[in-house]
């Protein structure tokens, strides 16, 4: 099976005055349709830089990135913006909801750029809010909702229009433990239902347990790639050691 996302020898260097910071160093990875992939690492490890590269938010200094047959690394700003609007959804740690808009308006906002008419946008927004357990919250503004509810709106916005790929950058970083579990179960159930590909970035090992594949990254390098069966065996081994 051909990978949905192919990253080949990607390097990213940031220049700060006379200094050179290597954020990613010759990284290569294949991601397949329907996979949940978690990038696990501490702050400054390069995991968010990787997400930005694959999402087309930044250009690599060197290397190639393909989504399907599309060479993301070669697209100009206009073409990559159009590609993201049609194919990609984002879930952010800080929610990034517009405070002057209602929940329904926040969810439907990205659909405007797809050229959808208002009636269709409103229907999709209503269905997306229902899918994340926010029936009746469409007219509420972000300030009228809890952190967990705001993140659910953010998830609904990312899922609206069923994009092929969802990027989630520390999606539970501002949430308590119980809400984190609720939100992660919600995200995973929805992407499984629609056969979407989910790329998670986190420093939290417990979030990595939701993934099919865990990519541990440090100092801009991939240290290991662990698939689900291997993760399960590690957990069983840890439990046996505890006993």
pLDDT of residue 229: 61
pTM of the model: 0.86
Distances, alpha carbon 79 to alpha carbons 54, 76, 83, 209, in Å: 15, 6, 6, 35
Q: What is the pLDDT of residues 115-154, one digit of tens each?
A: 888 999 999 999 999 988 899 999 999 999 998 899 899 9
Pick the closest to residue 169 from 16, 55, 80, 84 (CA basis). Answer: 55
Q: How do the domains of the chain map onto residue ranges?
A: 34-49+79-229
Which residues in 140-151 are b (16+ Cβ under 10 Å) and which e? Answer: bebeebeebbbb
Name the CATH superfamily housing domain 34-49+79-229: P-loop containing nucleotide triphosphate hydrolases (3.40.50.300)
What pLDDT tens digit does each residue of the chain (243 aa) get? Answer: 899 999 999 999 998 888 899 999 999 999 999 999 999 999 889 999 999 999 999 999 999 999 999 999 999 999 999 999 889 999 888 888 999 999 999 999 988 888 888 999 999 999 999 988 899 999 999 999 998 899 899 999 998 888 999 999 888 888 888 888 988 998 999 899 989 999 999 998 889 999 999 999 999 999 999 998 644 544 444 444 444
DSSP per position, 1-33? ---SEEEEEEEEEEEETTEEEEEEEEEEEEE-T
pLDDT of residue 102: 95
């Amino acid at each position: 099976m051909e990978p949905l996302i192919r990253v080949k020898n990607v390097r990213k260097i940031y220049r700060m005055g006379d200094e050179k910071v290597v954020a990613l160093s010759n990284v290569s990875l294949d991601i397949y349709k329907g996979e949940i992939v978690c990038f696990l690492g501490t702050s400054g490890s390069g995991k968010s830089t990787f997400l930005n590269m694959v999402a087309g938010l930044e250009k690599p200094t060197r290397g190639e990135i393909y989504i399907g047959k599309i060479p993301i690394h070669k697209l100009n700003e206009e073409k990559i913006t159009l590609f993201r609007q049609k194919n990609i959804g984002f879930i952010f740690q800080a929610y990034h909801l517009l405070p002057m808009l209602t929940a329904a308006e926040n969810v439907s906002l990205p659909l405007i750029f797809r050229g959808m008419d208002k009636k269709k946008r409103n229907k999709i927004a209503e269905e997306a809010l229902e899918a994340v357990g926010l029936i009746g919250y469409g007219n509420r503004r972000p300030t009228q909702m809890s952190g967990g509810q705001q993140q659910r709106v953010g998830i609904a916005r990312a899922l609206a229009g069923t994009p092929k790929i969802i990027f989630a950058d520390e999606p539970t970083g501002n949430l308590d433990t119980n809400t984190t579990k609720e939100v992660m179960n919600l995200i995973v159930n929805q992407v499984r239902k629609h056969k979407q590909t989910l790329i998670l970035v986190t420093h939290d090992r417990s979030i990595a347990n939701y993934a099919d594949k865990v990519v541990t990254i440090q100092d801009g390098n991939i240290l290991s790639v662990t698939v689900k069966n291997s993760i399960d065996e590690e957990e069983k081994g840890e439990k046996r050691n505890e006993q």
